[in-house]
Structure 1
């Protein structure tokens, strides 16, 4: 027997029962291809981010903390008027606890009929959800797997720190750096979310920049993006210009060894250093 549960927030009943099924609620994905989480890494379809020793990570969750195997006798049945309060759906299947973020648009009220018993219905709401979970917790190995930090930060309290955007102060501090020049039409308010995230990642690098580091940055950008150089400064006129500067600071420019093609790494995965034999 598999249970589908819903979390509605601590003020709306917390974890509650939705339904039981003889079949699996979610599909357990292939979790062989994993990377430690980094905002600089873009995943392929069969890849997942992983957090090891998740119980010590400081990201509490009402379902993860429940003892396994799941006992639902202490849980209430979710009332019909509380379905709009659902934050996420979850289920325990074998060694896994599986999660899916819930958004109000999944609660549908439309004209519909079942193809098994065609009859026009307008008086019932339905919920649509995917069989693919947004997060998978392996209880035996104490590992959390996920693909989209924007979804799981709504499920696990505190994970938004991994998704941090630079503050207005930090953006202003970065744009005021002595080697950056802004066009008149480009200000702190022009910086959008993707570049705010990139600024948050490289702020420490900027603070510790030496003259040698600065010289290397200018050399790289002059090689790959010469139009950004203006009187010994990096001229930023648009979001694209800022992105290129941030990619330069993050050492994303490279030249292929065989063809000599100049490229930008849109996604970065650090290669583990193996000890010498």
Structure 2
């Protein structure tokens, strides 16, 4: 039996109400969860990959409904007048919670022709579009949450955005004070945007593991692979004039530049995974 539950935006005391129950599966269990990887902010997934968070119920951003046994009497039937207030839905089926955030594009109110065995006119009943894949799914037995895009589930699991680590303004200011960085006249800390702040957060952690010789090596490596960056070899200083140049420097610190072994082509890895 499948149970489809809605979370209402403005309701605080009892925000969950039942939308539907039946023997028809709303979502299917994906077959490609076996290769799921722990979340990495700068990792781009292939189409058949998922991120995972293990031991999920012990995380501070886990929601209460999945910390205890699912019980249908806890969820009253939804008042149809409140369907426009749905924030997200979840489907519970055989020990798995499937979550989908509900955006305006998922709520339809328009006339449609239903092309079944008999063509019929739908006069504009409100409907919810169910996506082929859930935004996240939680497997009770293994205590693992699976998802593809963290930004799609921040409205479901409040606080999970802490995993989407971004350097603070103070951390960013400290980073650009490194002796190997000089900002151009028209570029400042205030102009460093979200994606580079995320890269800076990773670069800070990477640099902590380097000794002085390794720092020098990574600067030479960056200059070798990306000579378009302005670099004073004697002083070991990169002058960074814009967001793209900052990105190229940060890619160097993360050692993302490489040469293909056969064709000797120089490339940059937009996404990496440790093996």
Q: Does 1:247 align with 2:251?
A: yes
TM-superposed CA distance for 1:84, in Å, is: 2.8
For residues 171 and 190 of structure 2, the distance between their equivalents in structure 1, rounded to whole angstroms, comes to: 12
Residues 5 and 91 in structure 1, CA contact (< 8 A), matched pair in contact too: yes
2:110 is matched with 110
User: What does residue range 1-277 of structure 1 map to in structure 2 within 5 Å?
Assistant: 1-9=1-9, 11=12, 13-30=14-31, 31-67=33-69, 70-115=70-115, 116-119=118-121, 121-122=123-124, 124-206=125-207, 210-231=211-232, 232-271=236-275
For residues 103 and 271 of structure 2, the distance between their equivalents in structure 1, rounded to whole angstroms, comes to: 28
For residues 239 and 121 of structure 2, the distance between their equivalents in structure 1, rounded to whole angstroms, comes to: 65
For residues 112 and 25 of structure 2, the distance between their equivalents in structure 1, rounded to whole angstroms, comes to: 25
Q: More deviation in 184-193 or 113-122?
A: 113-122
TM-superposed CA distance for 1:78, in Å, is: 2.0
TM-superposed CA distance for 1:58, in Å, is: 2.7
Deviations 1:178-217 (A, max 9, x none): 2112222222232222112111222233456543233112
Residues 2 and 91 in structure 1, CA contact (< 8 A), matched pair in contact too: yes
Q: More deviation in 10-19 or 145-154?
A: 10-19
For residues 15 and 94 of structure 1, the distance between their equivalents in structure 2, rounded to whole angstroms, comes to: 19
Residues 27 and 133 in structure 1, CA contact (< 8 A), matched pair in contact too: no
For residues 127 and 122 of structure 2, the distance between their equivalents in structure 1, rounded to whole angstroms, comes to: 14
TM-score for both structures, normalised by structure 1? 0.88
Query: Cα–Cα, structure 1 residues 184 and 73, in superposed 2: closer, same or farther, change >3 Å?
Result: same
Q: More deviation in 8-17 or 133-142?
A: 8-17
Residues 5 and 17 in structure 1, CA contact (< 8 A), matched pair in contact too: yes
Query: Cα–Cα, structure 1 residues 32 and 209, in superposed 2: closer, same or farther, change >3 Å?
Result: closer
Q: Secondary structure at the match of 2:248?
A: helix
Deviations 1:49-74 (A, max 9, x none): 1222222233321331230xx32112
1:274 is matched with none
For residues 77 and 61 of structure 1, the distance between their equivalents in structure 2, rounded to whole angstroms, comes to: 21
Q: Secondary structure at the match of 1:119?
A: strand
For residues 134 and 147 of structure 1, the distance between their equivalents in structure 2, rounded to whole angstroms, comes to: 7
For residues 13 and 166 of structure 2, the distance between their equivalents in structure 1, rounded to whole angstroms, comes to: 30
TM-score for both structures, normalised by structure 2? 0.88
